[in-house]
Structures are given as structure tokens and as C-alpha cells.
Amino acid sequence: TIDCDKIKELSAKYPKLKEINYTYGTAGFRMKADYLESVIFRVGILAGLRSRKLDSKVIGIMVTASHNPEADNGVKLVDPSGEMLEQQWESYATQLANAQSDDELINVIKSVVSQNGIDESKKASVVYARDTRPSGPKLIAALEDGIKAISAVGVNLGIKTTPQLHYFTYYLNYCEKPTEGSYDELADKVYYEKFSKAFHKAVGDNQRLSNIYVDAANGVGAPKLRDLLEWIDKLNDNIFKVTIINDDINTRGKLNFQCGADYVKTGQKLPLALNLTCEQRAASLDGDADRIVFYYVEEDGTFRLLDGDKIAALSAGFIIELVKTACLDISVGVVQTAYANGSSTAYLERELVFPVSCVPTGVKHLHHKAQEYDIGVYFEANGHGTVLFSSNALNKINSDGSRTTEQEKAIKKLQALTELINQTVGDALSDLLLVESILINRQWTFKKWNSVYTDKPNRLVKVVVENRNIFKTTNAERTLVEPKGLQEKIDKLVAQYKDGRSFVRPSGTEDVVRVYAEASTREDCDALAFKVAGLVY
């Protein structure tokens, strides 16, 4: 049974800050690190309960605030399959975090136990990791007390990328339970081994391309990418030449500062410490290495971004070609959000003839929709995404049969991709290898990749409003239903611009409303964004 005294005793170390109302949102709990100790302690408790509920399966916990400023931190729970926490449990997380007193906390715990018929005598297992933020160790200590309070067994994986934690959670539940050695080192080893081997297989004996600069946002991606590249070099020396920049994880204040995927995507400009000449290739990771964007500059100095939409187009295009060459009866679909550039949707639907669906913002929506296809490709424009292969697709790809040499080659490539892609979650390092292996196979430059379609000029602006909760949307967030009458006004403005498109939605991670606009020229697009923002304000 639950040891109420133990919980109360440990919980006393982490009193809830009275004035704060916590919400487990699209990115878990995320805010200034100073406000998070009580929350993280309670997340440890919830993870123990979730493990018991799921027959002692291992639950993952990641302590990170991704691309947010260094002073922020956050925490997310990972289900046994490596996927995000189930929705119903998000509300338990919110309830636990907001319990004002230790007695109330015990009551919430008891109600989760009874609502779920949790057998308290079962073993509970949890693995956890953190990014490089200075607040990490203190928060991990609070987490460990939470895990102890609920009498679960916790294993500390140390510093890891978010996707490494997702993958290792899946690995522990569905691959092998290691009997010896440190889990911290093992989590790195199984990850590097898997992805380096798959990359080796995917590039085959094609020629390498030019060097690529990778901006690691001064975060955890830097040391992990460096190690991964060593594994790749051991298998195939010189196939992938990378120069890692913004790799200082020790100097305070540098994480995500004027660098990283979010900075580059939002500002559509180069990160700190990178001067690119034309023909040079570059990419940026975010602070926990689950997002990536690519870019280069033209001869005339124009900055060209290859974002999540371009990654989706590249990978979906390559996959469908292999599926066709191999004569496999497999459906491939692409999932986007409203932020996908209109040109990318048109390219996917009209030229590559894919079914394309649009879902609300947030990885879990994309992930679930993508599971409806045999092969589901999903990417947010900001560079977070992956490809999911259903068991039906895997069976067909891995089944024997008599085939021509050409079909056999295509099947081998597809098999390599199923291993190269981190299917538990979007993964900047796995996506980097995926993109590079496709470009190597195609012998494409970034310029060639960029030319598959031309982005429409677009603008994303934040508007600070008094209460963002009055904004209610429908139609995958593309239409406002409240405040009443506002959508009609937006429609009128949009109609004034050639190829205009604009929508308004409340952010799920910041206290702002986001306005997105697109039009055929940069001037029109900016004017439209500005006017729509004026309506909202």
C-alpha cells in the first residue's frame, strides 16, 4: 500500500508554490526552473503509478526545456513504447502538480490508484535523463525523492538527448533487459550502434557529399553527435564529414543563445558563430536535439531554409519511389499542421500525389494521425518529426519473395530506412542521418533539394493578449469559432491578397496568440500578418 508517511516526509522538502497554477501541456511542464521542484517530485510519483498500472513496464522521464532559455526547465513523461504520455494521465499530472497541501497530494494519489485499479504491490520501474541545463542536477534530486516516495526503482541515465531517452525506454520494454553494466553507458551504446549501422546500410557504396556544419545550440546534441560520428567513422571512414559548432555545454548562458533550430527557423537567419559561403551546407539542432532544420546561402547572399516541410517532402518522395520500385502494396501518407507552407502541401498532394492530412499543433496529434497509414511521414514546419512504419509495412518490407535485382535493392534501402529512423519520436540526429543518406543516394545538393518547390513568403508573429483562452479554434486550428465574428474579419482581409492564407490560434506553450500569414509576395504577406495581428490585439 501507499506509504503516506514517507510521501509526506519527502514532499515536505518540496512545498508547492501557492500562487502558481501548473498545466501539463503539449511539451509537459515547462517554465522557470525555480518553480519546478515540487512539480518534478510529483512527476516521479506519477511515473511510479503509471508503471504499476502498466504491469511494471518501464516509464521514461525527461528533464528538459528544449529550445527555451537556459533558465527554464521542464519535464515530460514517456510511455513504455517510447511515445508521449497517454492523454488521460496528462490530467492526473496536472492534478498532482496543483495539489496545494501534502494531504491533498495524498488524496489525488489515492484517487488515481482507485480510478485505475492499480495494484500497489507491483514493482514500479522508471528511467530518467536530463539535458545540459545548470538546473538539471537539483531537479533530478527532487525527481529521485518522488520516485523513492512511491517506492519505485529508478535508474539515472545522466545526460541524454530527448530522443535517446524515448528510444531507450522503448528498448528496455521491448528489446532486451540488460543484466549488467551501467544503464547510462548502455543507453548511449545501443543508440549509436543502431543508428551508425543503419546509416552505413542506407548510404551503400554511394559517394559522400561535402562537409556539413552542425550548430548544436551549445546543448546536449554536441557531445552526442560527436560520439555518433565516431561510430559512423569506424564503419565507413569519411562517408560523413561534419563540423560541429556551438558545442560549448559548459559556459553558462550559451545554451540556445542566438543559435539552434528555433532561432534559425524563427528569424530565418544564420546562428551565431557561423559564416557560410555559397555552396556550404549547414544544419541547426535545438537544445535537446529533437528538432533540426537545414540551410545554405545563395550566391547573392540570400538565406535559404530547408525546414520540416522540406524534410517531409524529401523523405516522403524517396520512400514512395522505393515502394514503387519494389512493387510493394503499401500506402504512404503525410501529416502536417496548419503551419506547413502552402507550397509544400500543394507539392505533396499534386506532384507526389500523397494523401496529406492536417492536424492540430503538437507532436502527439501528428504521431497518432501518422499511425493511420502503412507508412506515415510527419513533420512540423519547425523541424520536429519522423516516419512511422506500421507492422503491416514492416511485414511486407521484410518478407521474402522472388524479386529482380532492382526490386531487391529498393527493399534493402527501405529496410535500412526502417532502422535509421527513430520511430519513437522526432530525433534531430536520426533525421540528420536520414536526410544525408537520401541526399547521398540522390547525389543532391541543398540547392537541388530546395528546388523541389518554392516556399511561399510567410510570417509568424506573436501577439500578447489579455486572455488567450478566449480564442477557440476548429478545423485543425485553421478557423476561429471564438471570439465571435473575428474569423469573418480575417477572411475579408485574406481575400484582399493573392494566394493569401492566415490563421490565429492560442499558443499551447507560451502566453501569447500566434498569427500566421502567407501570400504571394513578402510585402503582401507581412501586410496581411500585421493587419490580422491588429484584429487580434
Q: Choose which of 215, 290, 309, 518 interacts with Zn ion (CB under 5 A).
A: 290
Is 68 near ligand NG1 (CB under 6 A)? no
C-alpha cell at 393: 509495412
Residue type, 121: S
Q: List the one residue out of 186, 226, 8, 171 whose CA is nearest residue 105.
A: 8
Range 361-400, binding ligand NG1 (CB under 6 A): 361, 380, 382, 384
Q: How far apart are CA 416 and CA 397, in angstroms?
A: 10
Is 262 near Zn ion (CB under 5 A)? no
Residue 45 Cβ vs Zn ion, minimum distance, rounded to whole Å: 25
Q: Choose which of 56, 81, 479, 507 interacts with ligand NG1 (CB under 6 A).
A: 507
Is 131 near Zn ion (CB under 5 A)? no
Is 286 near Zn ion (CB under 5 A)? yes
Is 27 near ligand NG1 (CB under 6 A)? yes
Percentage helix, strand, coil, to 5, in the chain?
45, 20, 40
Q: How far apart are CA 456 and CA 517, in angstroms?
A: 10
**Partner touching 290 among Zn ion, ligand NG1, none, CB below 5 to 8 Å by kind:** Zn ion
**Any catalytic annotation for residue 66?**
yes
Is 72 near Zn ion (CB under 5 A)? no
**How deeply is 485 buried, as exposed, middle or buried, from its count of CB atoms within 10 A (0-12, 13-18, 19+)?**
exposed
Is 283 near ligand NG1 (CB under 6 A)? no
C-alpha cell at 139: 531537479
3-state secondary structure of 364: helix
Pairing of strands 212-215, 125-130: unpaired
Residue 203 Cβ vs ligand NG1, minimum distance, rounded to whole Å: 29
Size of the site for ligand NG1 (CB under 6 A): 12
Which residue, 322 or 515, is less far from ligand NG1 as judged by CB? 515
Which residue, 48 or 383, is less far from Zn ion as judged by CB? 383
3-state secondary structure of 452: coil
Size of the site for Zn ion (CB under 5 A): 4
Q: Choose which of 38, 66, 422, 450 interacts with Zn ion (CB under 5 A).
A: 66
Is 288 near Zn ion (CB under 5 A)? yes
The region of 62-70, 215-223, 250-258, 519-527 touching Zn ion under the rule CB under 5 A is 62-70
Catalytic residue among 11, 38, 51, 66: 66
Q: How far apart are CA 434 and CA 457, in angstroms?
A: 27
Q: How far apart are CA 220 and CA 161, in angstroms?
A: 6
Q: Taking the mean position of all CA atoms in its chain, how far away is CA 73?
A: 16
- Footprint of Zn ion (CB under 5 A): 66, 286, 288, 290
Residues involved in catalysis:
66
